[in-house]
Amino acid sequence: MATKEIDPQELAKRYGEEREKRLRAEGIHQYVELKGKFAYLDEDPYVEPGFTRDPITDENEVVVIGGGFGGLMTSCHLKRAGVENVRIIEKGGDVGGTWYWNRYPGAACDVESYIYLPLLEECGQMPPNKYAKAADILEHCRTLARHFSLYDKALLQTEVNSLRWDEGEKRWHVTTNRGDTLSARFVVIANGWLSKPKLPGVPGIETFEGHTFHTSRWDYSYTGGDADGNLTGLADKRVGVIGTGATAVQCVPHLGAAAKELYVFQRTPSSVDVRDNYETPQDWVQSLKPGWQRERMENFEAAATGHPVEVDLVNDGWTEIMRNLSTLSVANTGDVRDPEKMAELMQLADFKKMESIRERVESIVADASTAEALKPYYNQFCKRPCFHEDYLPAFNQPNVHLIDTDGKGVERITPKGIVANGVEYELDCIVFATGFEVGTDISSRTGYEVYGRDGITITEKWKDGIATLHGMHVNGFPNLFFV
């Protein structure tokens, strides 16, 4: 925790000021979709172009839309329950979802691999590191698909066009961009809620004459190298990165190590804590008893939700956050039944934790003004917490430049580069680390419409906000499950 004394009132005031700087009237409309002139940025770089196959017409017990962990685990459990007629439809060239698309240099998961990767015992797998690289996670997804024979009926490189309920037949009819016409008793929508890349709606974005790509479609043909770095194609390039969220935290160190000059354009800094990764100890692996993974998952769930545990088996940044909150609260009140007192103490704990994050920036980044710009002034979960050893040190390199915009974002993009704070930075390449579409209609994010009873669409059903039973079912859409 923080070593400096903090002033809660001053911090609350500072947090409010920083928030106000970043509020924009456009809301989610400040972003643009990867279509039209930007459609090339959404192309799959991991498959050979020109894929074709014959259309399929058949009946299925269950159709699962999406081949990421949500779709895979649903399918695995269906197979374990004896349901064999399960068909996965997946846009990508393989299963994996997030981990199929996001192969940028440094891509990894900052949740412990021993609890993040499902069914390790059943598949006879053990991750090589405490925090798994994207490539290892993708390979585990493939292992699940092979182990449960999910590839046999998987339709890869296939997108759903429409999903329509037939009240007479009591079945769903699914059409795809490959001309498929599928019938299913049940449908599971597991597209993922953060799966459609987005771009910043910056004036002039379409005018840039250099190279561009989104981090979820990393162009190794341009950068060289692979997910471990070695981006030799950038040795003579001036590269700009727009975005400083979780993706940028992982890829910026590799870009900084390779590019002639790297400019990181920041609207809001991320909180970056210690990750402390290490190779999986083999003596620990040999000591494990059957049921170890379920026990570890349940222990993590208890610790991460503030419940007391005798031993914190995972003992990382995620469990530390909740441990600090719950320990401070109970220590100061001895009772958690007063909600106002609880909220006050939890805010104090958050202030102290974030002050320690800011102290970490000071201790690592040599230039005082750069360090100040990298300090996050908000509650820890305002932005996704990040954990990394190499992001902050990257800004000590002479070729890595932080362009902080004090909450405003970049002003515009020109044929030659990016303008921020009134200065044009000439670039050869722009990397968009700008995340994924969120808060839009579900039909926009999934790319298809769902028609329930009497032809009502899910978009119309949710026009005033999402409403479900247990987060999975929607009235008027029988036998449809959201994961």
CA distance linking residue 458 with residue 31, whole number of Å: 23
Give how far Cα 255 sits from Cα of 179, 220, 223, 391, Å: 41, 12, 9, 11
Given a contact cutoff of 8 angstroms between Cβ atoms, the answer to whether 132 and 126 are in contact is: no
Q: How is residue 247 written in tokens?
A: 């993706």
Given a contact cutoff of 8 angstroms between Cβ atoms, the answer to whether 172 and 477 are in contact is: no
**pTM for the full model?**
0.93
CA distance linking residue 328 with residue 378, whole number of Å: 19
Locate the DSSP E strands across 66-159.
86-89
Closest CA to 27 of 191, 192, 198, 195: 198
Please determine whether the domains at 8-33+198-274+349-432 and 57-95+150-195+438-482 fall in the same fold group of CATH: yes
Give how far Cα 62 sits from Cα of 58, 78, 294, 471, Å: 12, 9, 27, 19
CA distance linking residue 418 with residue 87, whole number of Å: 45
Give how far Cα 330 sits from Cα of 306, 316, 323, 336, Å: 11, 21, 11, 7
Fold of 8-33+198-274+349-432: FAD/NAD(P)-binding domain (3.50.50)
**DSSP-assigned letters across all residues of 349-395:** HHHHHHHHHHHHHHHH--SHHHHHHT---S-TTTS--EE-SSHHHHT
Ordered by start, the domain boundaries in the chain are 8-33+198-274+349-432, 57-95+150-195+438-482
pLDDT per residue, tens digit, the chain (483 aa), is 667 789 999 999 999 999 999 998 888 888 888 888 888 888 899 999 999 999 999 999 999 999 999 999 999 999 999 999 999 999 999 999 999 999 999 999 999 999 999 999 999 999 999 999 999 999 999 999 999 999 999 999 999 999 999 999 999 999 999 999 999 999 999 998 778 899 999 999 999 999 999 999 999 999 999 999 999 999 999 999 999 999 999 999 999 999 999 999 999 999 999 999 999 999 999 999 999 999 999 999 998 887 888 999 998 888 887 777 665 555 555 555 678 888 888 899 999 999 999 999 999 999 999 999 999 999 999 999 999 999 999 999 999 999 999 999 999 999 999 999 999 999 999 999 999 988 788 888 888 999 999 999 999 999 998 999 999 999 999 999 999
Q: How is residue 411 written in tokens?
A: 């002003």
CA distance linking residue 401 with residue 407, whole number of Å: 17
CA distance linking residue 180 with residue 155, whole number of Å: 10
CA distance linking residue 85 with residue 151, whole number of Å: 12
Whole-number pLDDT of residue 318: 86
**DSSP-assigned letters across all residues of 305-335:** TT---SS-SS-SHHHHHHHHHHHHHHHHHS-
The CATH class given to the 57-95+150-195+438-482 domain equals alpha beta
CA distance linking residue 182 with residue 163, whole number of Å: 10
